[in-house]
């Protein structure tokens, strides 16, 4: 019997070796890729997200859990395509232009991936044009922007405006976050949502996209 609860627990503990072994065993037993992802990997990352929100887990624990999740996900990914399992939605994430901080952005990306989103990571120093291209060329439904400097926050406003100018504001939602970013700033620039941390970012993304 495939041990999907054991897989979820291995992800929570950040035990990549066990997560990999249990994923291999489940695949060999013919368990569907969607079940492995939903009942094993996402279930585990959901608990990690809750613990992070409640300050029971800190950044290192989340990073280690996400690494275990990614190790197992690498085995499942080819099957997802074969079995035509669709991601929850497609997100482009990046740190805005002029800003090189990526630790928080990476955490948000990992939590989104752990929740079943397809994540296009545009990296750091991402221009409004790059975000716009992700929507127009790659079919992204959610633009997720991170900023850690007060001086780079205007890049978020520029991106919201660039999306509007390109006529794409109706095609993708915009979510923002990062230490100096606030709900007030989100309202001020006309973004769709703000999240204070990586776990809340998953909830906000689901809320914005209705998934
Ligand atoms: Co810089 N830095 N830094 N830095 N740095 C800060 C941000 C700063 C507050 C330090 C300080 O002065 N006390 C300050 C900014 C001041 C301001 O503008 N308010 C600062 C400065 C000034 C600078 C430089 C200008 C320093 C210099 O060169 N003179 C320079 C700028 C470089 C650039 O970007 N162009 C600089 C450089 C660097 C390093 C390269 C050395 C390094 C970054 C390494 C890296 O990221 N790869 C660095 C670091 C590490 C920091 C601190 C110490 C830590 C940031 C961090 O990673 N936090 C930071 C001081 C501090 O915060 N104590 C500081 C941990 C991370 C998990 O939190 O990113 O907030 P955070 O992410 C959270 C939430 O905010 C949220 O979820 C995450 C997880 O819960 N979140 C989102 C983040 N993005 C989100 C997106 C969402 C939703 C939620 O939706 C899309």
**CA-to-CA dists, residue 187 to 146, 156, 202, angstroms:** 16, 12, 19
Q: Which CATH superfamily is domain 90-209 in?
A: Cobalamin-binding domain (3.40.50.280)
* Domain ranges for the chain: 4-82, 90-209
Instruction: Give the global pTM.
Output: 0.91
**Ligand 1 binding pocket mutation candidate from 148, 182, 202 (most atoms within 8 A of CB):** 148
Q: What is the pLDDT of residues 9-63, one digit of tens each?
A: 999 999 999 999 999 999 999 999 889 998 999 899 999 999 999 999 999 999 9
Share of residues in the chain with pLDDT > 70 (%) = 100
The answer for residues whose C-beta is within 8 angstroms of residue 32's C-beta and 6 or more apart is: 83, 85
Atom of ligand 1 nearest to the CA of 98: 35
In CATH, 4-82 is 1.10.1240.10: yes
Q: How far is the CA of 141 from the centre of ligand 1 (A)?
A: 26
DSSP run (H or E) holding 195: none
C-beta of residue 172 within 8 angstroms of C-beta of residue 143 = yes
């Amino acid at each position: 019997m495939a041990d999907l609860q054991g897989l979820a627990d291995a992800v929570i503990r950040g035990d990549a070796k066990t997560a990999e072994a249990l994923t291999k065993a489940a695949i060999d037993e013919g368990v569907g890729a969607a079940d492995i992802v939903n009942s094993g990997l996402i279930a585990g990352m959901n608990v990690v997200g809750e613990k992070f929100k409640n300050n029971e887990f800190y950044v290192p624990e989340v990073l280690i859990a996400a690494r275990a999740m990614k190790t197992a996900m690498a085995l499942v990914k080819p099957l997802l395509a074969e079995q035509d399992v669709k991601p929850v939605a497609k997100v482009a994430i990046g740190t805005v232009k002029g800003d090189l901080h990526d630790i928080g952005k990476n955490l948000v990306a990992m939590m989104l991936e752990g929740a079943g989103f397809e994540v296009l990571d545009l990296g750091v120093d991402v221009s409004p044009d790059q975000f716009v291209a992700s929507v127009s060329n790659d079919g992204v439904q959610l633009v997720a922007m991170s900023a850690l400097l007060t001086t780079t926050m205007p890049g978020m406003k520029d991106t919201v405006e660039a999306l509007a100018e390109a006529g794409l504001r109706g095609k993708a939602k915009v979510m923002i976050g990062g230490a100096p970013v606030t709900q007030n700033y989100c309202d001020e620039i006309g973004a769709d949502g703000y999240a204070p941390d990586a776990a809340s970012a998953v909830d906000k993304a689901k809320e914005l996209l209705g998934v």
